Amino acid sequence: MKLYGIPNCSTVKKARDWLAGQGIAVEFHDFKKHGLDQATAQAWLKQTDWTTLVNRGGLTWRGLPEQRKQAIQDATAALALMLEKTSVIKRPLLEQDGKLLHVGFDAAAYSKIFNPTR
- Known catalytic residues? 9
- DSSP per position, the chain: -EEEE-TT-HHHHHHHHHHHHTT---EEEEHHHH---HHHHHHHHHHS-HHHHB-TTSHHHHTS-HHHHHH--SHHHHHHHHHH-GGGB-S-EEEETTEEEEES--HHHHHHHH-TT-
